Amino acid sequence: MARTPIFVKYLVCVKIVETLRVELHPIHCRLYDYLAQHTETLPSRKGTKKALRKNRILLNGKIASGAEFVHTNDEVIVLEEETIVKKVFPMLLQVCYEDEYLAIVVKPAGIPTSGNYYKTLLNALPHNLTQSAQADALPCPLPIHRLDRPTSGLILVAKTYSSRIELGKMLEQRAILKSYLAIAHGQLSGHGSLTSDINGKMAKSLYNCIHSFHTKRFGWATLLELCPVTGRTHQLRIHCARLGHPLFGDKTYADSVPTPKDKGLFLQAFKLSFAHPHTEEEIEIKLPPHNKFHWLQKN
């Protein structure tokens, strides 16, 4: 049964979330480095770069690039990120965990996490989650990481500003463990790591072969558990393809091998484990394999 939507519609609302007054500071310190050391509202260096790129940082009342040098008594203002839900997408989501600070939901395959679309996970969150009663509640719950459009599975969502910051730091420190189930073409065994660069950046994935099986229509296949150590776009799909064992249903990196029609990508974010940033409770959420994984083993 659908919940009554808590959030109905949002307009762009930009407000100040943090003001810093530069105290006596060593010379030749650029704003970007100063923010990385002193701000409490930007979750990471990556978040700082993003805020600068989106013109959310003001230095003495002017939009900053981050390359400026800061001086004693300079005023630095961090503006709130624009959160726009043009219209709530009333799609029911599986909610695996929810409290006042965060939630864990299941993203269906074929739906983007966010973006300039109506049918996104972001726009569906208000229909499925209740607004936090905390003083620093976000106006709209925000996913703290993404899954590719064809990938299904668990996504961690922040409901307060402080949770967003802490979870962002945990992601950067690799304190949130994400595991995926996948089915790859061919026979594999054992476990190991894949470390080839992606777009010039170091990328590392861990794999563990659960078991191989033979299908009548598609030959040999292997059920894998995959763990991304880094977070590059399409990382797991690219690494498996480079290994010579592309994933079933991967239209981008496995177009030369037979694959089931209309079943999508055989990649599922099935497990999340981390320490709750506010209660320190150890949380582990695990999904059963998607039905299509069982279907393939019978075909």
Q: Which residues are part of the catalytic machinery?
A: 148
**For helices 45-53 and 31-38, angle between their N-to-C axes, nearest 10 degrees:** 130
b or e along 107-136 (b: 16 or more beta carbons within 10 Å of the residue's beta carbon)? Answer: bebebbbeeeeeebbbbbbbbbbbebeeee
Q: Tell which residue, 131, 105, 113, 25, has the closest CA to residue 69.
A: 25
Q: How is residue 115 written in tokens?
A: 């973006």
Q: What is d(CA 24, CA 19) in angstroms, rounded to the nearest whole number?
A: 16
Q: Do residues 14 and 79 make contact, with C-beta atoms less than 8 angstroms apart?
A: yes
Q: Are 197 and 232 in contact (CB under 8 A)?
A: no
